[in-house]
Structures are given as C-alpha cells and as structure tokens.
C-alpha cells in the first residue's frame, strides 16, 4: 500500500470519527427541543431575578414558627408583625445563614402593611455605659425583594425616642403630630432587621430592656392606645432553604410566583416581567400552561441557577479587591434598584438575606490570603494594622469568621469576633495591632488577639459600622491576611 493511500485512509477515518462525534454532540447537547432550551435560557435569568423572593419566603416561614418548648432559641420565632429579640449575641448555634454579626443584639420581624400605616416606636436609646458616645442602633427596613428602603437609628433619626410610620402604597391620610412618615413600603411584606450594640455580656440586660420597647402597631391602634399585634394574612409553608433543598428545588417557581403576586415588583421592572411572561414567571402567572419541554427547561434552570449563585459569592464579581480583601459593590443594599440582579441575588440576598447601605455599614470580605490561596485551618494567619490604620468608624468595627454556609463557627473560646471593643487586645510597642487567625494559637501570640478558626475552609468579614468616608469611598486599605 502506497504512502499516499495510507494517509488518505487515516484521514478518512479521522473525518468519519469527527462527523460521528459531531452528530452525537449535536443530537445530545445542541438539538435540545426548542421550547426546553428557550425556557432554560430565560429561566436561568429568571432564577437570578426571583431568588430573593424565594429565599425570603423560606426565611419568613421559618421565622414565623412558634418557639418549641424545651428547645434553645437559636433563630427568630413568631416574628410576624411582632418583634423577636435575640436572647443573647448570635453564635454558631444559629444556622439560618446571612453572616450574622456577634456585636449587636438583633430585633427582627416580618412586617405586613396593607390598609393603613404601621407605626414603629423606639425608646430613648442613649449613650454607651460610662461614656458620652451614643449607643449604636438601627432598624433596617428592606422590601421583599431584599432592597433597603428606609432606616431608623443613630445615623438617620438619632438616638432619641420617636414614632415612625410606614405607609402602604397609595395611602393618603393624616398622621398624628407625634408620628413622622418614614416611607411608603415598596411591597406589602417587608423585613425589619434591628441591631443594637452590646459592649459586653454585662451590658446585655440593659440592651434587652431597650429592645423590649421597640414596638409595632397599626396607626388606628396607636391613636386609640390599643396594644395588639397588627393583622397579617396566613402564610403557606415553604421548604427551608438550608434543610429541605430538594423540596425547594421542586417548588421554586410556584414559590417565586406566589411571592411576586403578593409583593408585586415595581413599575421599573415591568419590562422584565413582560420578558418572563412566555415562561409563566411573574405575578399572576400560571405554570400549568407550560409545555413539557418548558417545564424541563425551567427545572434545569433552577438546578444550574442555585449552584451558580454560591459560585458567584466566592469570586470577585462586582467587588473591589484590596490586599486580598473584597469591598462590596457600591450598590450593595439596593442592588435591584440599580438593575444589578446578580449582585442582588448572590451577594445581597444569598450572602446576607439583606445588606446594609454603605453609609450604614460596610462589610469587607476575605476568602483568600495575600498569595491568593483560600483560607483554611491547616494554616495560621496574621493581619497587621499599622499605627493609625485601624478601621475609621464612628460606631464600631469588628472581624468575624464564617464557614461556607455563611454561619459562625464554634470554637473553644466562644469567641466569634475581634474588634475595637474586644477586652485585653494587645497593641505592639510601635502602636500597631496584630490579629491572629488559625485553628491553633500561634506560638508567642497573645490569646486576646486570636480568632480561632476551624480545621476546614473559612472566610473573614471585616465590619465597619457608620464607616468613615475613606471606607465608604473604598479608599481605606485593609491589611493583607498573611499565611505564616
């Protein structure tokens, strides 16, 4: 057989193999029925848009349940139009995610406003014990899509007592002279997330007494001096996002549509709602109209979308990287208002349930060390704040550690943050401050400067409450996390 003939035979075999492989790929991966592929491509975007509605439905149902007798209180209970107050600072027993802090006591309620305004009342909060510095507190109000729309607290309304009204959309009425109209609620259901600074365990009883005075009433009950829980419609059970993921996957679209029907997206999203109409996603849409192919496409979109969002959280998407730390996107807290749907779903909603406006608090996150390696307990780390480079804040700063479920991690010291109120912090002779993070206390390090870490991967959050302008503008540079 001649050399040329051998070459042509080999070439022919290669071509036949290529065509056979191409036909398989075409049939298996490209020639998906058009309706399935159409629903998948639109559905993936719809997952990103609708995720906060689904997560908040899940969290609201979990937090609406009564406290079970004999069980420890680790998450909000009975928190519908009624404040739940943390009985202690949040620790690793709480497992509902959201990167909770270990600096403030939480006051939480899912509020519902429909026919008349709700009146939120707060007491005189005053100063920190033994100081002339105001005790930091805030009540963050976020719509059901997770975007903030108002604040009560030290920064916005001061530390004096007051009464503030949240009106339903389109309400036109008169308020008493001692009630200030704070905002119109973008959605009938909204979250009130309160934080009150605690300086120590000994300070907690004073904070608890303050929180018990946070109150919520309908306007008519406020005027008639009647104290009762405002009414709210009954809730439909929703699978727990962390504990019942398979059930949530199967019900994602029905939960999303029900939530958007009860809490219609704003007029600014009308064009997007029209875009999702042919896959039956949005307020008032009917999933039973879909073809079998479209159902398959939407199911695929949920599976991919709910794995994609955590992946986004571990990248630098939308963030500003400084020394291995990531500043949040500048529209964090109100990402949906700016049309930043992926930021809203992955960083704002999945990462924190809701997120503070930068003027209220900035959370700077480190998943990796100065060499770009993911943080894990197999190594020890040090963070050196030069003299004069402590985070500039008006309220407080702290650094906490979380696992990949966005929860605090148990440790033998029961220490879940280090910051400006940590007792016994040891500064270096030159005025600098070194903090240590690791599974074991490094030799020669002061235990008071050590944040214990698990043996597995973790990440750090540096919080700055009422941050200085240099942090808001993302000019201040957090020091690198250096592997030792």
Q: Give the pLDDT of residue 29.
A: 53
Q: Look at 33 and 243; give whichever has higher pLDDT.
A: 33
Confidence of residue 30 (pLDDT cuts 50, 70, 90): low
What average pLDDT does the chain have? 93
pLDDT tens across 344-371, in order? Answer: 999 999 989 999 999 999 999 999 999 9
Residues in the chain, how many?
484
Q: Look up the CATH number of domain 320-483.
A: 2.60.120.600
DSSP collapsed to 3 states, 372-426: CCECECCCCEEEEECCCCCCCEEEEEEEEEECCCCCECCCCCCCCEEECCCCCCC
Residue 164 confidence (pLDDT): 98
Per-residue pLDDT at 25 exceeds 50: no
Is residue 268 within 8 Å of residue 322, measured between CB atoms? Answer: no
- Distance, in Å, from the CA atom of 346 to the CA atom of 270, rounded to the nearest integer, reads 22
Closest CA to 73 of 96, 99, 103: 96
* Half-sphere exposure for 84 (CA within 13 Å, toward CB): 23
Mean pLDDT (whole number) for 110-120:
97
Q: What are the structural domain ranges in the chain?
A: 81-224, 320-483
More confident residue, 242 or 276: 276
**pLDDT tens-digit series, residues 181-211:** 999 999 999 999 999 999 988 999 999 999 9
CA nearest to 379, candidates 444, 436, 461 = 436
**Average of per-residue pLDDT across 414-418:** 96
Quick one: pLDDT band at residue 9, thresholds 50, 70, 90?
Answer: low
CB 261 within 8 A of CB 273: no
The reported pLDDT for the residue numbered 16 is 55
Q: Which residue has the tokens 């808001």?
A: 472
Ramachandran sector of residue 424 (left: φ over 0; alpha: ψ -120 to 50; beta: rest): left
Residue of 56, 91, 99 lying closest to 356 (CA atoms):
99
Residue 246 pLDDT: 86
Q: How many CB atoms sit inside 10 A of residue 72's CB?
A: 9
Residues in contact with 377: Cβ distance below 8 Å, sequence separation at least 6, in sequence order: 438, 439, 453, 454, 455, 456, 457, 458
pLDDT tens digits along 58-78: 999 999 999 988 888 888 999
Judged against a pLDDT cut of 70, whether residue 468 lies above it is answered with yes
- Asked if the domains at 81-224 and 320-483 fall in one CATH topology, the answer is no
The candidate with the shortest Cα–Cα distance to 120, out of 162, 169, 91, is 162
Structure tokens at 356: 């503070």
What kind of fold does domain 81-224 have according to CATH? Immunoglobulin-like (2.60.40)
Q: What is the mean pLDDT of residues 41-60?
A: 98
Residue 454 has pLDDT above 80, yes or no: yes
CA distances from 471 to 170, 282, 330, 430, 443 (A): 37, 38, 11, 24, 33
């Amino acid at each position: 057989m001649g050399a040329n003939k051998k070459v042509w035979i080999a070439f022919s075999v290669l071509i036949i193999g290529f065509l056979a492989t191409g036909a398989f790929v075409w049939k298996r991966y490209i020639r998906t029925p058009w309706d399935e592929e159409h629903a998948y491509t639109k559905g993936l975007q719809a997952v990103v848009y609708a995720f906060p509605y689904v997560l908040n439905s899940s969290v609201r149902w979990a937090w609406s349940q009564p406290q079970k007798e004999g069980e420890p209180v680790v998450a909000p209970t009975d928190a519908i139009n009624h404040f739940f107050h943390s009985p202690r600072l949040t620790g690793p027993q709480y497992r509902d995610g959201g990167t909770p802090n270990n600096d403030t006591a939480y006051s939480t309620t899912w509020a519902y406003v429909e026919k008349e305004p709700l009146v939120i009342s707060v007491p005189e909060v005053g100063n920190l014990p033994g100081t002339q510095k105001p005790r930091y507190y805030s009540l963050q109000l976020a719509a059901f899509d997770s975007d903030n729309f108002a604040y009560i607290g030290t920064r916005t309304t001061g530390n004096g007592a007051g009464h503030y009204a949240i009106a339903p959309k389109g309400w036109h009425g008169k308020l008493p002279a001692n009630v200030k109209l704070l905002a119109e609620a973008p959605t009938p259901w909204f979250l009130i997330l309160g934080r009150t600074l605690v300086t120590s365990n000994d300070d907690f009883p004073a904070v608890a007494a303050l929180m018990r005075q946070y109150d919520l009433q309908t306007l008519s009950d406020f005027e008639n001096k009647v104290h009762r829980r405002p009414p709210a419609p009954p809730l439909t059970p929703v699978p727990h996002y962390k504990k019942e993921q398979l059930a949530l996957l199967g019900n994602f679209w029905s939960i999303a549509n029900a939530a958007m029907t009860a809490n219609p997206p704003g007029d600014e999203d009308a064009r997007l709602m029209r875009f999702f109409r042919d896959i039956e996603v949005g307020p008032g849409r009917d999933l039973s109209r879909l073809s079998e192919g479209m159902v398959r496409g939407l199911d695929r979109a949920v599976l991919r979308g709910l794995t994609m969002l955590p992946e986004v959280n571990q990248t630098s998407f939308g963030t500003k990287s400084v020394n291995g730390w990531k500043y949040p996107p500048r529209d964090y807290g109100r990402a949906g208002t700016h049309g930043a749907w992926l930021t809203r779903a992955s960083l704002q909603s999945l990462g924190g349930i809701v997120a503070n406006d930068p003027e209220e608090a900035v959370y700077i996150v480190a998943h990796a060390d100065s060499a770009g390696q993911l943080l894990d307990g197999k190594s020890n780390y040090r963070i050196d704040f030069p003299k004069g480079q402590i985070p500039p804040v008006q309220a407080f700063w702290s650094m906490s550690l979380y696992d990949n479920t966005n929860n605090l991690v148990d440790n033998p010291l029961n220490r879940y943050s280090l910051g400006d109120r940590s007792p016994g912090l040891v500064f270096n002779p030159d005025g600098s401050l070194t903090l240590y993070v690791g599974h074991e206390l490094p030799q020669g390090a002061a235990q008071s400067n050590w944040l214990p870490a698990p043996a597995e991967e973790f990440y750090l959050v540096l919080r700055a409450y009422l941050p200085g302008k240099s942090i808001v503008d993302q000019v201040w540079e957090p020091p690198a996390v250096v592997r030792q």
